[in-house]
């Protein structure tokens, strides 16, 4: 369902870190949106759930724009060379390329498990070294970059409005936060302490990892990678750039400096920054054993849809407190939607009635979009769906098959944005079918329905007992409709 709405009341509004205001969204090219997400470094813990919040959020943004009728182009950049990947591949004794390819394949697999639509592009840094070198040379020619001890640095003094993305009061705190990435680079080499490395000179510890280029023997710096790659795939001005708040400074600040020095155009129109993911109220930590990856979560028996829902449930500008209790709550909420779909699927009644299902669908769709248009307020949007479900449930006595199908299709169309209903429902049906097959209940089920129809209630009860004994629950309606559930859920 394409539901483009151009009325000002309903247009999409986003909080832009650059203006620090909620702004109406206007694309660079009408009908199209470009989205850039600084992606993972494909090292050991590339799928820790904190990072997955970022990609799941950018997937939601993309899906919603598609829902609104936009064409989307989406980049998640893959950092496949940095201190971690070099050290880890050396420790495992395998070449960097092989090591990062293995983690890249795993990353693609894992975002697939979370039902993230594969980005239009997943460019790797090591495939773009020539482009990066070309741009660093350009920056040198333009006077923005200088060489020191074999490395090349960006001179922030040359940029008039450096740091436009930073909230000044927070600048100091953020600077400290960023130190980790800068440790390797000797401060004495730089003209200004905030100058940052574009090209890092090779050191013997890096072994065979280097590119011998006109800039010398070395490798690219992190900030320039994003600038070059986003421009290459999405053009000089990107509509939406997504990342965590910890990247506002220095990473995104420096991406702006580089890009705008080269193009003299605005780099990004809307900066969307999501907050951190914390676990049980505390920072994720290896010592506390809370550095969870996707596999850690799934190994506890949760369907990936539950995690996806949890990752989206908290508004992106709030810290997301991941708890097992929250997982349980969401599991229950999702089960409610699944039960609703099972019921709709089982409706057999064909009688006409006065219930206007299209009115409820229209209201729900409007409210859903109202929530999403309000700076992607996911909870508000989900609230409209649960209201809708309880409204339709009230029509349980009269709803007919045609209406049930309309409701079912509408939920699935909304799920083109949510992305967690259909996979969970399909898996549920599969499990149910397996249970039916394993207990040879197919004919028992149809015999029971026939017995009910023929008002042979004693026989229906007997057959029903066989069904429940296999761990399957059935719910009958007066109109002859019936649906099955797995008893444990
Ligand atoms: Zn980036």
- Ligand 1 centroid – CA 154 distance (Å): 16
β-bridge partners, 148: 151
- Ligand 1 centroid – CA 256 distance (Å): 10
For residue 474, the SS3 value is strand
- Ligand 1 centroid – CA 217 distance (Å): 23
How far apart, in whole angstroms, are the C-alpha atoms of residue 210 and residue 199?
11
How far apart, in whole angstroms, are the C-alpha atoms of residue 261 and residue 264?
6
Look at strands 216-220 and 211-213 and give their pairing: antiparallel
Task: List the Cα angle 288/289/291 in 5-degree steps.
Answer: 110
pLDDT in tens, 379-433: 999 999 999 999 999 998 899 999 999 999 999 999 999 999 999 999 999 999 9
- Ligand 1 centroid – CA 38 distance (Å): 4
- Ligand 1 centroid – CA 319 distance (Å): 21
Query: For residue 170, what pLDDT band results from cuts at 50, 70 and 90?
Result: low
The separation between the first and the last C-alpha atoms of the chain, rounded to the nearest angstrom, is 31
Q: Which two tokens stand for residue 88?
A: 């880890």
Residue boundaries of the structural domains of the chain: 13-321, 323-486
* pLDDT tops 50 at residue 248: yes
pTM, two decimal places: 0.93
* pLDDT tops 70 at residue 39: yes
- Ligand 1 centroid – CA 150 distance (Å): 24
* pLDDT tops 90 at residue 480: no
How far apart, in whole angstroms, are the C-alpha atoms of residue 351 and residue 353?
7
Q: Class assignment of domain 13-321? A: alpha beta
211 neighbors 96 (Cβ within 8 angstroms): no
How far apart, in whole angstroms, are the C-alpha atoms of residue 172 and residue 178?
10
What does the pLDDT average to over 290-297? Answer: 93
Q: C-alpha distances in angstroms, 65 versus 6, 56, 213, 240, 269?
A: 13, 14, 41, 11, 16
pLDDT in tens, 307-343: 999 999 999 999 999 999 999 999 999 999 999 999 9
What does the pLDDT average to over 338-351? Answer: 94
What are the backbone dihedrals phi and psi of residue 401, each rounded to the nearest 5 degrees, phi first? -60, -40
The whole-chain average pLDDT of the chain stands at 92
How far apart, in whole angstroms, are the C-alpha atoms of residue 248 and residue 175?
10
- Ligand 1 centroid – CA 40 distance (Å): 10
pLDDT in tens, 41-57: 998 876 789 999 999 99
User: What pLDDT does 188 receive?
Assistant: 59
* pLDDT tops 90 at residue 351: yes
Q: Which two tokens stand for residue 421?
A: 């209903």
Q: Which two tokens stand for residue 280?
A: 């049980």
14 neighbors 372 (Cβ within 8 angstroms): no
Q: Which two tokens stand for residue 358?
A: 């299209």
- Ligand 1 centroid – CA 128 distance (Å): 14
- Ligand 1 centroid – CA 284 distance (Å): 22
- Ligand 1 centroid – CA 244 distance (Å): 10
């Amino acid at each position: 369902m394409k539901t483009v709405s151009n009325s000002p009341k309903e247009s999409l509004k986003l909080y832009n870190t650059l203006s620090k205001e909620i702004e109406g969204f206007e694309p660079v090219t009408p009908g199209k949106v470009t989205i850039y997400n600084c992606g993972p470094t494909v090292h050991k813990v590339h799928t820790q759930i904190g990072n997955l919040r970022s990609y799941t959020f950018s997937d939601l943004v993309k899906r919603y724009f598609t829902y609104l009728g936009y064409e989307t182009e989406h980049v998640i950049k893959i950092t496949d060379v940095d201190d971690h990947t070099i050290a880890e591949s050396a420790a495992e004794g395998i070449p960097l390329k092989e090591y990062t390819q293995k983690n890249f394949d795993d990353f693609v697999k894992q975002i697939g498990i979370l039902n993230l639509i594969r980005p239009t592009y997943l460019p790797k840094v090591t495939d773009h070294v020539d482009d990066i070198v070309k741009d660093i040379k350009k920056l040198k020619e333009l006077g923005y970059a200088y060489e020191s001890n074999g490395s090349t640095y960006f001179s922030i003094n040359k940029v008039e409005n450096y740091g436009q993305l930073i909230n000044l009061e927070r600048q100091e705190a953020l600077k400290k936060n960023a130190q980790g990435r800068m440790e390797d680079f000797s401060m004495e080499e730089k003209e200004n302490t905030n100058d940052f490395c574009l090209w890092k000179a090779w050191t013997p510890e890096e072994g065979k990892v280097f590119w011998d280029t006109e800039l010398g023997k070395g490798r690219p710096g992190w900030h320039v990678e994003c600038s070059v790659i986003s421009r290459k795939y999405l053009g000089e001005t990107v509509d939406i750039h997504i990342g965590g708040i910890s990247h506002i400074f220095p990473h995104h600040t420096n991406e702006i400096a580089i890009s705008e020095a080269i193009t003299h155009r605005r780099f990004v129109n809307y900066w969307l920054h999501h907050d951190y993911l914390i676990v049980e109220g505390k920072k994720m930590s290896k010592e506390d054993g809370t550095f969870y990856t996707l596999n850690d979560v799934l190994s506890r028996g949760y369907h990936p849809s539950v995690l996806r829902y949890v990752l989206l449930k908290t508004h992106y500008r709030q810290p997301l407190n991941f708890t097992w209790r929250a997982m349980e709550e969401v599991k229950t909420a999702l089960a409610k939607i699944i039960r609703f779909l099972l019921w709709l699927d089982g409706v057999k009644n064909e009688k006409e009635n006065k219930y206007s299902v299209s009115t409820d669908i229209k209201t729900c769709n409007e409210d859903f979009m109202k929530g999403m248009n309000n700076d992607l307020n996911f909870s508000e949007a989900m609230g409209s769906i649960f209201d809708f479900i309880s409204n339709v449930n009230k029509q349980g006595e009269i709803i007919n098959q045609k209406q049930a199908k309309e409701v079912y299709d509408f939920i699935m169309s909304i799920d083109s944005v949510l992305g967690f209903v259909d996979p969970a429902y399909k898996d549920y049906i599969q499990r149910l079918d397996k249970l039916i097959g394993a207990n040879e209940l197919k004919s028992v089920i149809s015999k029971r329905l026939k017995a009910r129809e023929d008002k042979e209630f004693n026989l229906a009860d007997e057959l029903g007992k066989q069904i429940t004994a296999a761990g399957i629950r059935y719910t009958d309606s007066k109109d002859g409709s019936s649906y099955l559930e797995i008893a444990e859920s």
